[in-house]
Structure formats: structure tokens, C-alpha cells
Structure 1
Amino acid sequence: MIHVRRAGPLDAGAMAELLNEVIVQGGTTAITEEVTRDDIAGRIGAPRAIWHLAEDDGGELLGFQWVEPLTTEPGLVAEIATFARVGRTGLGIGSALFEATRAACVAEGYDWIRANIRADNYGGLAYYQSRGFEDYGRIAGYRMGNGQVVDKVLKRFDL
């Protein structure tokens, strides 16, 4: 069974470990440099940031999702990121996380949520589409930290 709860600073080490597995695997995130526990802990407490994690019955971290304010778009916009443990996608982790994140975004007063997804991340594109996100833009030729160039698809979910 999947259990979702708000993440806190004490969860930062496990979340960094999971995210680093995703980064090393490659192909699904624009993050190219490994992150540390302190990197994650420093972002969890940022103003208007909302972090949730999903665990199994034994407390194993299955995935996590965060939103942070995005100031480059009109209104109060949350930019979302979602990560599931390598090999554990398609099991309902993202669906459970988004239910909690959506409700928290409404409570926080956000107007809409933006997803900024690599165009070659077909799983990520399908995930956000299945949640009701709609395409509204594209970033062509985005250069990632490792020099790789990808296009990015911008999707929005109106609250």
C-alpha cells in the first residue's frame, strides 16, 4: 500500500539518494549533477514550497513530489517536479502524490501548476497528461548542466 505524507528535513537524505538514482539512470530529468541531503533540506523549508513523499507499508521511500513558486508566469504559479524510485514507476505512486499536492496547492492559494518536462521523457509527459495537465508552450534547445541539449514541454494544470 502507498502512504503519502508531507516531507520534512529529516527525509532529505533518503530523497537525495532516490533522486541521485534517477539522475544516474538519465533520460528523465534535466537535473544532471548529484544532489546532497543538504541541497534537499535547504529547499524543503522555502516559502510556499510543498513537499510530499510516498512510502510503502515498511516505510521505504517510493517517490516524492514538490512544488515551488514560479515567478516568471502570471498569477501565483507552482512549478512541480515528481520522482519515483527507479524500477517502481507505473504503480500509482505519482497518482497518490499528485492528489496530495493538488489539494495542498489549493490550500496554499496557488492559481495553477506548471510542469516543465524534457520532450524525450515520454513517461513524464504521459504522467502529467494523465493528471489533466495541458500543453501550453515549449522551450527549444534547452542546454542542461552536462551540455546535452533537449527540448522541453510546458504543461499547466489550472486549480
Structure 2
Amino acid sequence: MSVEVRSATSNDAPELTALLNAIIARGGTTALETPFTPDRLDAAYLTGPDVWSCFVAVGPDGRLEGFQTLIREDRYPKDWGDIGTFTRVDGIQKGVGTVLFAATRARAGQLGLAVINATIRADNIGGLAFYSKMGLEDYAVDRAEPLADGTPVDRIHKRYLLNIDGHDAQN
């Protein structure tokens, strides 16, 4: 699939809310369990004050195929960004995550970040494989974090190291 990558805007919030809420409703791949409103999604992941960057992948027909956000999280050092990647559940978006990560990685380097962090549910095999393919390495596990229904699920922490000059430490 050929996609264009661009920065997200508040105008993308309604379509991306539907995309993310479909993922949440399906279950099993995101730690997010409460559906979003467009305003809440915009503030949290698209353009809010704690958003380092957010990129969208636009398909040839103009449909938003996915988005990747990089946010500040108080639990991590100030030079770490916390990443989240979300693609449509209806069909295969081959390559969408890869092009989004290239844009996010470049932006993280421009911002002078040292680390991109991803926290993935241990039962999200696809998410774990994706972030490993992008070069993120495991560094910690939170054991038996309960879901809203009480089901315990481990959370795997992965990180991608960036040099302070913006070049990838892995290369």
C-alpha cells in the first residue's frame, strides 16, 4: 500500500477516534480500554501539550490508515518519548507502521530525545513483533497488570536508543 505520511491535526480527530475505538472494541492488542471522544484523543495523542509528535498515514483514497504518537510521560526521563502505533482493524495495512516509525524516529532525533519507549501487552504478539522489527529492544516487564475486568496481563517495555545528535544508536 502506498501511503503519504504527514503530521496529525485536530481535524483528523474524528476519523482517528473511530479507528482507535474499533481497536479498543476488538480488544486484545491495546492497553487502552476506554473509548475516546475526538476532543479527548486530540488532547492526549494528536496535538495536546504532552505530544512530542503525531503522524498519520494517508492512503491513496485519502483515508487515514493509521497513526503513531510520541508523547511525554511523567514516569520516564525528560528525554524519553513514549510511542503508540494504531492501524485500522479492517484489512492489512502493510508497511504503514514502518513509514510512520521512520517519521517518528526522525522527529525524535530532531527533538534531541535519547530514547523511544514502547509498552506493549504481552498478549499482543503483532505489536511485540512490530516494535522488535523496528529495532526496539526489551528492557523491562511489568508483571500481571490487571485489565479493567481484572485479567492480569504482563506489559513488556521496549526501547529504541537515539544518540544525542539524532542518529540511531543501533546503527
TM-score between both structures, scaled by the size of structure 2: 0.88
Give runs of ≥4 in structure 1 deviating > 3 Å.
87-90
Partner of 2:72, secondary structure, is strand
Q: Tell me how far apart the structure 2 counterparts of residues 146 and 59 of structure 1 sit (CA, whole Å).
A: 37
What amino acid sits opposite 1:51 in the alignment? C
Is the 2:140–2:157 Cα contact (8 Å) retained in structure 1? yes
SS in 2 for 1:49: strand
Residue 75 (structure 1) shift: 5.0
> 1:40 offset after TM fit, Å?
1.2
| Deviation at residue 20 of structure 1 after TM alignment | 0.4
Q: Is 2:153 the counterpart of 1:153?
A: no
Q: Which amino acid aligns with 1:110?
A: L
Match of 1:80 in 2: 83
Contact 1:75 1:111 in 2 (8 A): no
- Specify every segment of 5 or more residues in structure 1 that has no aligned partner in the other structure, as ranges: none
Provide the C-alpha distance between the structure 1 equivalents of 2:117 and 2:75, rounded to a whole number of angstroms.
11
Letter in 1 for 2:110: A
Aligned to 2:21: 20
Letter in 2 for 1:5: R
Q: Residue 46 of structure 1 aligns with which residue?
A: 49
Displacement of 1:48 after TM fit? 4.7
The Cα of 1:5 is off from its aligned counterpart by 0.4
Q: Distance in 2 between matches of 1:106 and 1:64?
A: 19
Preserved CA contact (<8 Å) 1:62 1:88: no
Provide the aligned C-alpha RMSD in A. 1.4
Contact conserved, 1:48 with 1:108, CA < 8 A, in 2? no
Tell me the secondary structure at the aligned position of residue 153 of structure 2.
Answer: strand
Q: Structure 1, residues 17-57: CA drift from partner, whole Å, max 9, x if none? A: 00001001110001111111011121222145211000111
Who is 1:102 aligned against?
Answer: 105
Residue type of the alignment partner of 2:33: T
Which consecutive unaligned segments of at least 5 residues does structure 2 have? Answer: 163-171
Amino acid aligned to 1:77: W
- Would you say how many aligned residue pairs link Structure 1 and Structure 2? 159
Q: Distance in 2 between matches of 1:115 and 1:24?
A: 21
TM-score by length of 1: 0.94
2: CA distance, partners of 1:101 / 1:78: 10
Provide the C-alpha distance between the structure 1 equivalents of 2:31 and 2:103, rounded to a whole number of angstroms. Answer: 24
**1:7 aligned onto 2:8:** yes
Alignment match, 1:29: 30
CA drift of 1:59 comes to: 0.7
Supply the distance in 2 between the matched residues of 1:128 and 1:100 (Cα, whole angstroms). 15
Distance 1:98 1:16 in 2: 20
